[in-house]
Amino acid sequence: MNKEQLQQLAAFLTLQEKIKMIHGAAFFATAGIPEKNIPPFVFSDGPMGVRPEYGPDTWYPIAGNDDYTSYLPCNSALASTFNRQRVLESGEVLGLEARGRGKDMILAPGLNIHRSPLGGRNFEYMSEDPYLTAEMAVSCIKGVQKNDVAACAKHFALNNQETNRTSYSPVVSERALWEIYFPAFRACVKEGHVEGVMGAYNKFKGEFLCHQKELVNDILRGEWDFDGMYVSDWGAVHDTQKAVDCELDVEMAATNNFDDYYLASPLEKAVQEGRIAEADLDKKILRILGTMNRLHMLDGERKSGAYNLPSSRQTLLQAAEESVILLKNDDSLLPLAPKKLKKLLVIGDNADRTHASGGGSAEIKALYELTPLMGLKMLLGGNCTVEYEPGYYACVTGNAWEGENAQNAFANVGTSFASRQNRKVRDDEVAALNASYKEHAIAACKDADAVIFIGGLNHDHDVEARDRSDYHLPYGQDSLIKDLLKVRPDMIVTLIAGSPVSMEEWIADAKAVVFSYYNGMEGGLALAETLLGMVCPSGKLPTTFPVKLSDSPAHSLGQFPGAQTVNYDEGIMVGYRYYDTYHVKPQFAFGHGLSYTDFVYDDLSVSMTETPEGPACDIKLTVANISGPDAKESVQVYVAPLTNDCDKDLVRPTQELRAFDKKEIGKGERTGFSFHLDAIAFSYYDEASHSYKVPAGTYEIRVGSASDDIRLRKEVTVTETCFLPRS
């Protein structure tokens, strides 16, 4: 339909029909208007696959066996691939499955910045770095939307913690907004042409994000020209007039009093009483019809989808393989040689645990989920015995995502004498169980050819509605790992988690450490293949792992989680920007991830040109795989401002990621990489002019394998200061 036809369609709608289109009439759908050929608009979570079906007005699953779905690597895992193609393909799977399950908008990707290692939903987000987040989110959106399904970039904006998530108001500098917190959302709109953006629960400048006119009307709609649907998070609207004024299109919530929603009967009444003009609804209707039209929901030309295709599983396996991160590998302990193994001992709860059904709204009813133990057994069957010891007792409740309520209930129960007694009995039992698990694990270590520990976190810790309270590993794992390493200094430590964890207590004693985010249905196989050398690891950390929590900028300079007001006093110094600039050595740096081969970086050439849009830079280099096996490498380009000719007192991060690319390089082969940087790569956000400024001065182009492993450098000069519009 063209614009005029859409306008005609809108003009024939009654007030009641318009109201039907702008609020939930079920937990995940608006009401359709069949008489006018307008279908309901159907949503589903989320980033890791299409969520199980719920009843229209109850939070009970409709317990069929037909809503199993593919389980994708979580967003941090996708970002760890540092490979746009893998993320695009995973997005395609997500869109295909959403369409196959009859959805119109999939509530993904999540792209809030990792501000603290404790953030409960870090796993649903990409990275601490705005450029990596933007590139990955745009790739994901393009993949999803190929299938006539809308993606939804969430949560706009500054939704960086779960503590007080429905009420806190962050205080952030304008510069940090435009350098750190906005770029990925802007890219989703301008480059990804995303159809949906979700208004977050939290506030900014004291106003809820679904009422926040400065961010929504002026910036998202005005400056970025977003004409898709701005959808509230579930229950994030608090006022009829403000939601209308804010150019919010659809109000969704998690309670079934649908007619009472702010954009339902209260709005109808306000229009009838003349307090709100009906014309104020028309812009919303036109935007919703616009999205429906682009998804071919109105013309019968829509693509069909499919879920659980074998080819999709293959795609997700490839993404999972590229996201496993080899953190440490002294004495080339890894990979293990399968032929030399007669007895392999695997210790740890995460070896045998599935994670798909946890985490909150990102939960998935996975068609299957291969655990690491399963993966190892699948690949080693026959000549090698794989023994398993839990090593520690993980008391997983699995229902923790409704955290606010669950925590309160638990706190109340915990105050009675009887329950304190019960808890003591339970704690004593757990302690006894843990001691016996540990004893068995230590005993089993002795005659194994190799020992792999597989622990970390689970979705009782990486979960919606609650941040972690402790940076250390839970369930006494630190002391267990320490004790096991005394008996088996060659033990491989593998951690599965959704956020950084402390390794301080044992890292010096561990020779080989592997990290995997929640890696989807094929995650256990990808991990096993990596440990056994069938896949050469190529994942890179999308987030810094600090030694101690107090090293992290949100905790040392700013506040986390704060109270109702949260001061982001670290400003632009988020993640590696802080660690590099303030010389705080992390446990593992942003971009770090080893391989089973050695890469030699060479032949760097850098040429600067002046364009009407400011300076531009072309970079070329070669990377050789000198020792094999065939492997993939993500080359990272950082720009470091060295001298600044106009703003002598300006503080800038030591270096910032401005480009990356990943390629496969065969054993003994050499491959060329080339990059183009625009002026924005040299800029910072100038609050005085409200624009990006590229100061004249010298810069260093740094090319490396990680933010702390720069292999090649070259100085360049920007001769003239220029400004770039922020939109």
- Expressed in angstroms, the distance from the first to the final Cα of the chain is 29
CB nearer to ligand BGC: pick between 142 and 154: 154
Phi-psi region at 15: left, alpha or beta (left = phi > 0; alpha = psi -120 to 50): alpha
Provide the CA 611 distance to its chain's centre, in angstroms: 35
Question: What is the CB neighbour count within 10 angstroms for residue 467?
Answer: 24
Q: What is the DSSP letter of 489?
A: T
CB nearer to ligand BGC: pick between 250 and 325: 250
Cβ-contact 78, 91 below 8 angstroms: no
CB 45, min distance to ligand BGC, A: 5
Is 218 catalytic? The answer is: no
CB nearer to ligand BGC: pick between 22 and 373: 22
CB nearer to ligand BGC: pick between 91 and 390: 91
CB nearer to ligand BGC: pick between 498 and 537: 498
Instruction: State whether residue 207 is helix, strand or coil.
Output: strand
CB 323, min distance to ligand BGC, A: 22
Structure tokens at 632: 């993939």
* Cis amide leading into 335 (omega within 30): yes
Q: Nearest to residue 132, comparing CAs of 634, 556, 578? A: 634
Question: What is the CB neighbour count within 10 angstroms for residue 563?
Answer: 12
Cβ-contact 542, 590 below 8 angstroms: yes
Phi-psi region at 200: left, alpha or beta (left = phi > 0; alpha = psi -120 to 50): beta
CB 107, min distance to ligand BGC, A: 4
Q: Nearest to residue 91, comparing CAs of 150, 43, 141? A: 141
CB nearer to ligand BGC: pick between 103 and 726: 103
Cβ-contact 493, 372 below 8 angstroms: no
CB nearer to ligand BGC: pick between 215 and 444: 215
Q: What angle do CA 19, 21, 24 make, to 5 degrees?
A: 95
CB 210, min distance to ligand BGC, A: 12
Structure tokens at 216: 């929504």
CB nearer to ligand BGC: pick between 154 and 459: 154
CB nearer to ligand BGC: pick between 459 and 540: 459
Give the Cα separation of 441 and 444 in Å (integer): 5
Q: How many residues does the chain have?
A: 727
Q: How far is CA 497 from CA 151, 458, 518, 671, in A?
A: 25, 6, 6, 33
CB nearer to ligand BGC: pick between 46 and 52: 46
Kindly give the residue spans of alpha helices, DSSP state H, lying in 183-299.
183-190, 213, 240-245, 265-272, 279-294
Q: Looking at 104, 148, 233, 580, which residue is catalytic?
A: 233
Give the Cα separation of 596 and 333 in Å (integer): 10
Cβ-contact 656, 577 below 8 angstroms: yes
Residues 6+ apart with CB under 8 A from 622: 601, 602, 603, 670, 671, 672, 673
CB 560, min distance to ligand BGC, A: 19
What is the DSSP track for 584-638? ---SB-TT--B-SS-EEEEEEEEEEEEETTEEEEEEEEEEEE-S-S-EEEEEEEE
List phi, psi (to 5°) of 603: 55, 45
CB 449, min distance to ligand BGC, A: 45
Q: Strands 656-665 and 631-641, how do they pair?
A: antiparallel
CB 362, min distance to ligand BGC, A: 8
Q: 3-state SS of 357-400?
A: CCCCCCCCCECCCCCHHHHHHHHHCCCCEEEEECCCCCCCCCCC
Give the Cα separation of 35 and 13 in Å (integer): 10
CB 724, min distance to ligand BGC, A: 32
CB nearer to ligand BGC: pick between 48 and 525: 48
CB 239, min distance to ligand BGC, A: 19
| Positions in the binding site for ligand BGC (CB under 6 A) | 45-46, 107, 154, 233-234, 361
Q: Which residues are catalytic?
A: 233
